[in-house]
């Protein structure tokens, strides 16, 4: 996202500290530009709605002067760029307007539902990382053998399966038939309101307050949606790990390490793995961002009361303030994760500094 | 030796001739060599078979379907798979198998429309940016980067919510968020072509910039774009089905796989086949595109294998 990571031509002329300053400014300006671009798109989407917002507010029997007054109140008489400036100011102050559906400010709603999504996406990413990285390494070190094929096929399946369908099939098999996992929702009714929300992440809150029965129930509920959501992450991470590892194993330093008599385990985990982890930072960050977004479908299937379900419910009742607010929040997290992965990459790879 | 086998061998040696005597021969020869490589990968051939079946099914769906996809028979609703209804019936007594076969048309139509909208835009933006360079490149690529940093699915959702649900709007929304990677690829290809000697030769002969881009740069970018389009097809199918599942894509009674899963959800525990069957169709088709795309990449774009 932030362009080439090689040293630019002017770095030698201006000295290291000035070059660092310029690079930082560059990163900041690109992030700011992307953010403004995101807001421009959501602003324009809000403007193409075929419903007349004034008419929606006053009803179609209102006299012309009332209509006109509301139009001015909503700022719709101003030129488009002026309207955008006002929108920008409002969003930067955390004002996304009110949700028609819940009658709360959109930001308050999002604050309430976001921890549930964060919990789900984090667990999904953990599934992807802890299964995907070893799977990719094993596949790369046994290239062409049956285990390699198995990992590749699992990766392909993860790319090809519709998550919402996988979720339904999971519910059918593991909840309805086998009874191994709990059903939709975050908690059973009996366990609700036993834990005072501190972070909003139930697994964390219940563990901190020592409510282990709530923790177990919450865990039984989250396992299935997290596994379903993580299947994409697992496919992506294992595939990328395999290809990064194959690239490293072809390098000369690996041959040198082998010639010096190191065990294959040491060569893989102590020498090659370090270089595999650096590009994996970006992959994990990207897949995390994708899971936050992919939760829209998963949450709908599992009745998971998070941001995804909030956006879907708002969509179905044409509650545009809530939809666009949710879009801006997810977009901001996206941009933030991109930036974070870029900074981590620079910190981990001396060549990128 | 039969005369048929003999002429086959002639055609083969003509195709594999090291010194082709015409443009046609060279082109056909290259395609044939590509096919020989492609054929060695059984998974890719399986993918090709799935994709071709999808196309054939979409074309002749009315002749294959045992029932009409719209005909309701409320007396026989939610029946399990049987000889009369291979995949059972849905909540309105419609034949699920026939609806899935007709759904192939909806899916293929949407995917093709997205590809037709997205590939030329990406190609144009990418080649223009790469070839013209300077501020044009800067402006176009900044825009592309901004779009790449967006959450695609959510943006498509917001877009459809604003425009109103329906197939056309779903296609526009997906296309709106899907073009940036194509621009990136086309630009990268253009940068490697831009400084080659044959472009300099064309320029010396007095060709205009538009002519160079259109006649000489664009054709060389197409093969990597075709690979990318094929690999993207699976993702587009999944997004389209997701929009359908949320009730934002195809509207009832049109048979669409995502919407069919959504309506079967209510009966999941007792009549599992209603939601399961369309999902299998989505899964098989997107797997087919993934396998085919992987194989195609190995042939057309070996450096990214």
Render pLDDT for A37-63 as a digit per residue (tens, 0 to 9). 888 888 888 877 766 667 766 777 778
> How far is C-alpha B16 from the chain's CA centre?
30
DSSP string, A102-130: T-SBHHHHHHHHHHHHHHHHHHHHHHHHH
Residue B137 lies in a domain: yes
Q: Is A42 on the interface with B (CB under 8 A)?
A: yes
Q: What percent of chain A has pLDDT over 70?
A: 92
- Going by the DSSP 8-state scheme, the letter that residue A8 receives in this structure is P
| Residue A98: strand, helix, or coil | strand
Closest CB from A1, A49, A330 relative to B162: A49
Q: CB atoms < 10 A from the CB of B119, how many?
A: 21
| Residue A303: strand, helix, or coil | coil
Distance CA(B1)–CA(A92), nearest Å, equals 81
Distance CA(A166)–CA(A225), nearest Å, equals 10
Name the residue of chain B whose CA is nearest to A158's CA: B287
Give the pLDDT mean for B189-216.
87
Give per-residue pLDDT as tens, A209-244.
878 888 888 888 899 999 999 998 999 999 999 989
- Residue A157 with chain B: CB contacts under 8 Å: 287
Q: Is A334 in Cβ contact with B245 (below 8 Å)?
A: no
- Among A5-14, A50-59, A186-195, B164-173, the least confident range: A5-14
Q: Is B245 in Cβ contact with A300 (below 8 Å)?
A: yes
Give the pLDDT mean for B96-115.
90
> How far is C-alpha B114 from the chain's CA centre?
8
Angle, CA of B189, B191 and B197, to the nearest 5°? 105
Distance CA(B95)–CA(A177), nearest Å, equals 26
Name the residue of chain A whose CA is nearest to B286's CA: A160
Q: Is A168 in Cβ contact with B268 (below 8 Å)?
A: yes
- Residue A30 with chain B: CB contacts under 8 Å: 145
Assess whether pLDDT exceeds 70 at residue B183: yes
- Residue B247 with chain A: CB contacts under 8 Å: 316
Q: How far does B52 lie from chain A, in Å, by closest CA?
A: 17
Q: Is B276 in Cβ contact with A169 (below 8 Å)?
A: yes
Assess whether pLDDT exceeds 60 at residue A5: no
Q: Is B151 in Cβ contact with A334 (below 8 Å)?
A: yes
Residues 6+ apart with CB under 8 A from B244: B170, B250, B256, B257, B258, B259, B262
A-B Cβ pairs (cutoff 8 Å, strict): 134
Give per-residue pLDDT as tens, A158-213.
889 999 999 999 998 988 888 888 888 888 777 777 777 777 788 888 888 878 88
Residue B159 lies in a domain: yes
Q: Is A231 on the interface with B (CB under 8 A)?
A: no
Q: Which domain holds residue B156?
A: 44-304
Residue B74 lies in a domain: yes
Assess whether pLDDT exceeds 90 at residue B26: no
Write b or e for each residue in A115-140: b if 16 or more Cβ atoms lie within 10 A of its Cβ, otherwise e. Answer: bbbbbbbbbbbebbbebbbebbbbbb
Closest CB from A157, A293, A334 relative to B149: A334
Residue B34 lies in a domain: no
Residue A129 pLDDT class (50, 70, 90 cuts): very high
Total number of domains in chain B? 1
Give the pLDDT mean for B123-142.
88
- Residue B164 with chain A: CB contacts under 8 Å: 50
The pLDDT of residue A9: 58
Distance CA(B69)–CA(B257), nearest Å, equals 12
Residues 22-41 of A with CB under 8 A from B: 30, 33-34, 37-38, 41
Closest CB from B142, B246, B282 relative to A165: B282
Mutation pick from B50, B103, B161 vs chain A, by most beta carbons of A within 10 Å, is B161
Name the residue of chain A whose CA is nearest to B291's CA: A156
**Alpha-carbon separation of residue B176 from A51, B160, B169 (angstroms):** 21, 11, 10
Residue B258 lies in a domain: yes
Q: Which phi and psi angles does A211 have, rounded to 5°?
A: -90, 80
Residues from B in contact with A at Cβ < 8 Å: 142-143, 145-155, 157-164, 234, 238, 241-242, 245-248, 258, 261, 265, 268-269, 272, 275-276, 279, 282-283, 286-287, 290-291
Give per-residue pLDDT as tens, B29-57.
888 888 888 888 888 899 999 999 999 99
Q: CB atoms < 10 A from the CB of A80, how many?
A: 11
Q: Is A171 in Cβ contact with B154 (below 8 Å)?
A: no
Q: Is A315 on the interface with B (CB under 8 A)?
A: yes
Tokens of A31: 């992030």
Give per-residue pLDDT as tens, A243-254.
899 988 888 998
Tokens of A103: 């009658």
Q: How far does A111 lie from chain B, in Å, by closest CA?
A: 18
The pLDDT of residue A340: 86
Give the pLDDT mean for A304-321.
86
DSSP string, A179-243: --S--SSSS-GGGTTSS--SSS-HHHHHHHTT-HHHHHHHHHHHHHHHHHHHHHHHHHHHHHHHH
How does the average pLDDT of chain B come out, rounded? 85
Overall residue count recorded for chain A in this entry: 353
Closest CB from A162, A315, A316 relative to B238: A162
Residue B165 lies in a domain: yes
Name which of B281, B174, B288, B284 is nearest B231 in CA terms: B288
- Which contiguous run of DSSP H or E holds residue B49? helix B42-64
**Which residues are bridge partners to B89 per DSSP?**
B95
Q: Is B290 in Cβ contact with A160 (below 8 Å)?
A: yes
Q: Is A327 on the interface with B (CB under 8 A)?
A: yes
- Going by the DSSP 8-state scheme, the letter that residue B89 receives in this structure is B
Distance CA(A200)–CA(A212), nearest Å, equals 16
Distance CA(B57)–CA(B79), nearest Å, equals 24
Q: Is A323 in Cβ contact with B158 (below 8 Å)?
A: yes
Q: How far does B230 lie from chain A, in Å, by closest CA?
A: 13
The pLDDT of residue A2: 46
Closest CB from A296, A300, A316 relative to B154: A296
The pLDDT of residue B1: 47
Q: Is B248 in Cβ contact with A323 (below 8 Å)?
A: no
Residue B31 lies in a domain: no
Residue B243 lies in a domain: yes
Residues 144-173 of A with CB under 8 A from B: 156-157, 159-165, 168-169, 171-172
Name which of A104, A100, A38 is nearest A328 in CA terms: A38
CATH of the domain at B107: 1.10.3720.10
């Amino acid at each position: 996202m932030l362009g080439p990571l090689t040293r630019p031509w002017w770095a030698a002329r201006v000295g290291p500290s000035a070059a660092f300053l310029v690079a930082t400014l560059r990163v900041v300006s690109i992030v700011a530009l992307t953010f403004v671009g995101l807001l421009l798109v959501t602003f324009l989407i809000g403007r193409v709605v075929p419903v007349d917002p004034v008419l929606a507010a006053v009803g179609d029997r209102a006299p012309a002067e009332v209509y006109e007054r509301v139009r001015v109140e909503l700022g719709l008489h101003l030129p488009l760029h002026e309207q955008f400036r006002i929108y920008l100011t409002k969003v930067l102050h955390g004002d996304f307007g009110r949700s028609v559906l819940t009658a709360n400010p959109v930001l308050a709603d999002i604050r309430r539902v976001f921890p549930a999504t964060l919990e789900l996406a984090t667990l999904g990413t953990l599934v992807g990382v802890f299964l995907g990285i070893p799977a990719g390494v094993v596949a790369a070190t046994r290239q062409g053998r049956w285990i390699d094929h198995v990992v590749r096929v699992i990766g392909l399946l993860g790319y090809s399966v519709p998550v919402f369908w996988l979720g339904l099939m999971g519910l059918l098999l593991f909840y309805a038939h086998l009874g191994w996992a709990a059903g939709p929702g975050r908690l059973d009714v009996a366990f609700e309101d036993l834990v005072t929300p501190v972070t909003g992440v139930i697994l964390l809150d219940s563990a901190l307050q020592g409510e282990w029965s709530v923790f177990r129930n919450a865990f039984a509920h989250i396992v299935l949606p997290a596994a379903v959501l993580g299947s994409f992450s697992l496919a992506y991470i294992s595939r990328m790990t395999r290809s990064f590892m194959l690239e490293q194993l072809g390098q000369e330093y690996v041959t040198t390490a082998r010639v010096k008599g190191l065990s294959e385990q040491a060569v893989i985990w102590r020498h090659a793995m370090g270089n595999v982890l650096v590009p994996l930072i970006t992959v994990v960050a990207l897949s995390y961002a994708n899971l936050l977004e992919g939760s829209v479908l998963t949450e709908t299937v599992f009745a998971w009361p998070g941001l995804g379900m909030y956006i879907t419910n708002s969509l179905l009742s044409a509650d545009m303030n809530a939809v666009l607010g949710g879009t801006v929040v997810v977009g901001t997290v996206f941009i933030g994760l991109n930036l974070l992965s870029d900074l981590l990459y620079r910190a981990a790879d001396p060549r990128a500094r | 030796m039969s005369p048929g086998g003999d002429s086959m061998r002639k055609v083969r040696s003509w195709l594999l001739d090291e010194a082709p005597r015409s443009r046609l021969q060279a082109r056909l020869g290259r395609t044939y060599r590509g096919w020989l490589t492609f054929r060695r990968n059984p998974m890719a051939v399986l993918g090709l078979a799935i994709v071709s079946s999808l196309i054939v099914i979409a074309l002749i769906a009315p002749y294959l379907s045992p029932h009409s996809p719209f005909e309701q028979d409320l007396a026989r609703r939610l029946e399990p798979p049987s000889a009369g209804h291979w995949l059972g019936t849905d909540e309105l007594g419609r034949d699920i198998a026939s609806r899935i076969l007709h759904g192939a048309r909806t899916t293929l139509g949407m995917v093709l429309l997205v590809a037709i909208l997205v590939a030329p835009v990406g190609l144009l933006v990418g080649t223009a940016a790469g070839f013209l360079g300077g501020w044009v490149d800067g402006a176009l690529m900044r825009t592309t980067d901004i779009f790449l940093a967006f959450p695609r699915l959510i943006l498509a959702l917001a877009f459809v919510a604003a425009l109103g649900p329906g197939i056309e709007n779903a296609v526009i929304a997906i296309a709106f968020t899907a073009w940036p990677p194509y621009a990136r690829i086309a630009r990268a290809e253009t940068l490697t072509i831009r400084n080659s000697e044959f472009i300099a030769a064309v320029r010396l002969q007095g060709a205009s910039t538009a002519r160079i881009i259109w006649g000489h740069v664009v054709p060389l970018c197409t093969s990597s774009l075709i690979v990318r389009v094929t690999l993207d097809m699976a993702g587009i199918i999944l997004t389209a089905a997701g929009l359908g599942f949320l009730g934002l894509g195809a509207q009832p009674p049109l048979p669409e796989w995502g919407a069919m899963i959504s309506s079967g959800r209510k009966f999941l525990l007792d009549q599992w086949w209603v939601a399961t069957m369309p999902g299998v169709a989505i899964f098989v088709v997107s797997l087919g595109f993934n396998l085919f795309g992987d194989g195609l990449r190995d042939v057309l774009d070996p450096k990214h294998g």
